[in-house]
C-alpha cells in the first residue's frame, strides 16, 4: 500500500518505521546526518517541512503535511 505524502509523492507503507514532527534539535541532527550520507528525500516542493518519515533503509523523507494527517491516512488505509 502507498501513503500519499504530498505533491504526488508516495511512500510504501510497509517500509515506514516512524512518522515524526519536524522541529526538535534531535530530529534536525538526524536529518543533517542523513543528508551527509545522501539518504534524505525532500518531498516538500520548497514548502515548510512539517513531517519527517523514517524508513527501514534509514532514509529520511521530508514532507510538508502534518504528522497527524499522515498518521490518520495510514490508519484509515487511504494510501493505495
How many H-runs (helices) and E-runs (strands) does the chain carry? 2, 6
* Res 9: pLDDT: 92
Note down pLDDT in tens along the chain; length 80 residues.
Answer: 899 998 899 999 999 999 999 989 999 999 999 999 999 999 999 999 999 999 999 999 999 999 999 999 888 875 44
Closest CA to 19 of 39, 46, 49, 45: 49
What DSSP element (H or E) covers 2? strand 2-6
Are β-strands 40-43 and 60-63 bridged in parallel, bridged antiparallel, or unpaired? parallel
pLDDT value, residue 30: 94
Q: CA-to-CA distance for 68 and 56, rounded, in angstroms?
A: 20
Determine the pLDDT at residue 79. 46
User: How many CB atoms neighbour CB 67 within 10 A?
Assistant: 17
Q: How much is the pLDDT for 80?
A: 46
Q: How far is CA 75 from the centre of its chain?
A: 15
Amino acid at each position: 500500500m502507498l501513503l500519499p505524502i504530498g505533491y504526488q509523492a508516495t511512500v510504501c507503507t510497509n517500509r515506514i518505521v516512524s512518522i515524526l514532527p519536524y522541529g526538535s534539535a534531535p530530529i534536525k541532527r538526524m536529518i543533517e546526518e542523513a543528508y551527509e550520507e545522501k539518504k534524505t528525500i525532500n518531498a516538500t516542493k520548497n514548502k515548510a517541512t512539517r513531517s519527517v518519515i523514517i524508513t527501514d533503509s534509514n532514509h529520511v523523507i521530508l514532507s510538508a503535511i502534518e504528522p497527524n494527517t499522515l498518521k490518520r491516512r495510514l490508519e484509515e488505509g487511504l494510501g493505495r
